[in-house]
Structure 1
């Protein structure tokens, strides 16, 4: 049923879907107190409260563009995306060291893998959805030529390490909350967030450079600009320093288009089995939320 609905919605143009999405964003924002509270808390903590109204609309557009991105003809989808600074990635590929592409929940992050796979082989870390009904939709939608999905487990990590050793590209969402044992507490917009350590480990292991990427959503459904940005932070030696350096890079990237960040994402939740950070006061609501 859900697959059929998404395929039906994919018929509509991007401007139509984004127009509907803007209204949907406000509907969800007004209807859900927990959603509204988390969005407000996260965007205010980051210092972008002035962008709240725009962020509400962009969140709705984020949802309504998924049928188009996932289910429309790939050539039709790629026609909406312009790529800038690809030479950063190509230089890394030419050096045969591989490249680690870090993509936060900023803009239309779902289109980035397609844009990259149209140019080179990409292995992307993938965490199966909790709801079984979503699995065939998401896995089928993300299946593309030149795009390999690596599960978020030891087997997937090995797959990504092998891709890097071959000089290929891999993709990670560094602001996705990892599971127990896969992260450390590191500051993100001033508050400890459980942060994955995998990208820094792979960089240390293989020497593959880190490159940031995001897809800016253009106004009025005009498409997207997929941008690649050099990673300029100093990683440091221990896992916490490395995680904080990557979070700092994410903060700078988000500051470019703060309204398009997914502020309702529960970035500060405490994963099951992970002790709360001892250096901060964690709210009751956050402490109750588990993966």
Structure 2
């Protein structure tokens, strides 16, 4: 599990640019939230000029997932998606630097009783997450409602690893490397709630191909299935979206997921349907710039050519 320890080496000149960026982010999130919202949207819109490759990936993902949408509908979604990208940067600063009382003013929760009902039975629970742009802030908000653990990929920059871990542990218990299967299962068996996001392409190894929106064969991690079998933990989803009326955020916690299949491929299709439903709460806020369909079945050509 990730530890949160400052090192004197972080003062070395190699980290000065990182410190400058973190200082600027801290300064920006001291603004009133409405100003942060405007600034984030404008930064995101401006970033389209520098993130052309990511824009093309988002456009292709939307073409594949929603083939019946018109080009105009997809372009509108991409426009809003890039505004969400800009907000994601500032929401990360909010998650890491805002005090609890300020964060609490800007969110409400729907379904907290669903999580408490499962945990009241002294059972661990696997919390299925989705990569919305507000994910970092969503973790902070979830921790204020019910502290939990989360799987993650350690940052290559040691200073950023310290900062993000320190920020994430402001309201949560621990971070577990996504490669630490034993630690994850152990935490669930001890009754902990552990966040896990199975909605990205982690490659062919350890994956099954299952439908996702209109794409028939999508590499879907078997991690959810393996963890479920080893731990026996029930599952539910937690998703946070930004409200359209600029009044903050809403955290959605679903009832316990039922009838989870006992076959890997069927389980992958099941969890993809769950993720689809969550994405449709606010599709413009989802991480469409990720190459979700880069891994193809043997013999199939890339969908991104």
TM-score, normalised to structure 1's length? 0.86
1:202-221 correspondence runs (5 A): 202-219=227-244, 221=246
Q: Paired residue for 1:198, among 223, 237, 251?
A: 223
Q: Is the 8 A contact 2:26 2:97 kept in 1?
A: yes
Against the structure 1 CA distance between its residues 242 and 225, is the aligned structure 2 distance closer, same or farther, given a 3 Å change threshold? same
Asked if 1:33 corresponds to 2:58, the answer is no
CA distance in 2, matches of 1:51, 1:110: 22
User: 2:204 & 2:65 partners in 1: Cα distance?
Assistant: 25
Query: Highest Rg: 1 or 2?
Result: 2
Aligned to 2:7: none
Residue in structure 2 matching 1:92, options 112, 118, 123: 118
Aligned to 2:298: 278
Question: Hey, what's the Cα distance between the residues in 1 that align with 2:166 and 2:246?
Answer: 24
Task: State how 1:1-291 maps to structure 2 within 5 Å.
Answer: 1=19, 2-47=21-66, 49=74, 51-132=77-158, 134-153=160-179, 156-178=180-202, 181-191=205-215, 192-219=217-244, 221-230=246-255, 232=257, 234-270=259-295, 276-278=296-298, 280-283=300-303, 285=305
| Aligned counterparts of 2:157 and 2:59: Cα–Cα separation in 1 | 27
> What's 1:289 paired with?
none
CA contact (8 A) 1:9 1:68 kept: no
- Does the 8 Å contact 1:16/1:221 carry over to 2? no
Q: Distance in 1 between matches of 2:263 and 2:92?
A: 38
- Give me the CA root mean square deviation: 2.3
Between 1:225-234 and 1:252-261, the stretch displaced more is 225-234
CA apart distance, 1:9: 1.9
Q: Per-residue CA shift, 1:217-270, capped at 9, x if unaligned?
A: 023642110001236574323222211211111011111211111111222234
- Counterparts of 2:138 and 2:45, CA distance in 1: 26
CA–CA separation in structure 1 for the residues paired with 2:221 and 2:103: 30
What CA distance in whole angstroms lies between the structure 1 residues aligned with 2:205 and 2:211? 17
- Conservation of the 8 A alpha-carbon contact between 2:129 and 2:198: yes
Alignment size in residue pairs = 278
Cα 1:74–1:183 shift into 2, 3 Å: farther
Deviation readout 1:57-113 (Å, 9 max, x if unpaired): 222222222211222223322332211111111111011221111110125222332
Do the aligned partners of 1:196 and 1:243 also contact (CA within 8 Å) in 2? yes
Deviation track 1:122-149 (CA, whole Å, cap 9, x = no partner) reads 1100111244453233222212244210
Give the TM-score taking structure 2 as reference length.
Answer: 0.82
Structure 1 pair 89/7, CA: closer, same or farther in 2 (3 Å)? Answer: same
Paired residues of 1:97 and 1:207 also in contact (CA < 8 A): no
Which whole-Å CA distance do the structure 1 matches of 2:61 and 2:303 have between them?
A: 13
Comparing 259-268 with 143-152, greater Cα deviation is found at 143-152
